[in-house]
A = this chain, B = another copy of it.
C-alpha cells in the first residue's frame, strides 16, 4: 500500500546498474549514468539505495543465484555422468564468451576492482558466490561418488575462473576447451583413486529474478 510502482523503479535501476557495471566496470560508471539509464533522477536512485556501495551490493547479489541456476540447469538428464556434466560446464563458458558483449565474470571483475578495499561489499559478494559455486561442484562430484570430491571441485573451480580470465585477456575462447580437457583429465585421475558409491541426484530450483542475459556470467 505504501509503494506505487516503487518495486518496478527499483528493478529498472538494478537492471541499468547490471548492464552498465558489467559492460564498463563498476568504478567507471557513475550513479548519474545508472539513474539516467533507468529513466529516473539521481535523487530517486538514492531513495532506493542508500549509497553506490549498496547498489553494488544489490547488483552482485542479484547475479548470485541466477548464475548458479544457469549451471545447475545445464543437464536435463539427472543420470548424466560426471564427465559429461563437467564437459558441458566448460562448453557453456565457451558459448557465453562468444557473445560480443561478454566481459568475463562480474564477480571476479568486481573483486579485482575493489581488491584494495577490505570489507567492501563487492569483495564479500564475490567471495560468497564463488564459495557457493565451488560447493555446488563438490555436491555434484560427491553425488557421482568421486573420491576427494572437495579437492577436485576446488581444482575445477580454479580451472573455471582461470579459463574465464584468459579468455577475457586474450579474447580467445579456445581456453575453455583447454580448461575442459584438463578438468576431465583430473576427473579421470580422481575417479581411479576414489571409491565408487551409490549415486544420488538433485533437482535445480527455479531462479527468482527477472529476465537476465544468461550468457553474461562467466
A-to-B contact residues, CB < 8 Å: 23-25, 27-28, 103-104, 107-109, 111-117, 123, 126-127, 130-131, 151, 154-155, 157-163, 165-166, 168-170, 175, 178-179, 181-182, 185-186, 189
Closest B residue to A27 by beta carbon equals B27
Q: Is B27 a contact of A127 with CB atoms below 8 Å?
A: no
Q: Is A189 a contact of B185 with CB atoms below 8 Å?
A: yes
Known: A27-B25, A27-B27. A165 touches B169 (CB 8 A): no
Report, nearest first, the 7 A-B pairs whose CB atoms are least far apart: A162-B162, A158-B162, A112-B112, A24-B116, A109-B112, A155-B182, A103-B115
| A159, B183: Cα distance in complex, Å | 10
| A23, B115: Cα distance in complex, Å | 8
On chain B, the residues within 8 Å of A108 by CB distance are: 112, 165, 169
| A162, B117: Cα distance in complex, Å | 21
Closest B residue to A154 by beta carbon equals B178
Known: A113-B112, A163-B162, A178-B154. A130 touches B169 (CB 8 A): yes
CB<8 Å pairs between A and B, sample of 22: A24-B117, A104-B115, A107-B169, A108-B112, A108-B169, A109-B113, A109-B115, A111-B168, A127-B170, A130-B169, A155-B159, A155-B178, A157-B162, A158-B159, A158-B166, A158-B175, A158-B182, A159-B182, A161-B161, A162-B163, A185-B189, A189-B189
| A48, B157: Cα distance in complex, Å | 43
| A99, B29: Cα distance in complex, Å | 31
Most B C-beta atoms less than 10 A away, residue of A112, A114, A189 = A112
Known: A112-B108, A114-B25. A151 touches B178 (CB 8 A): yes
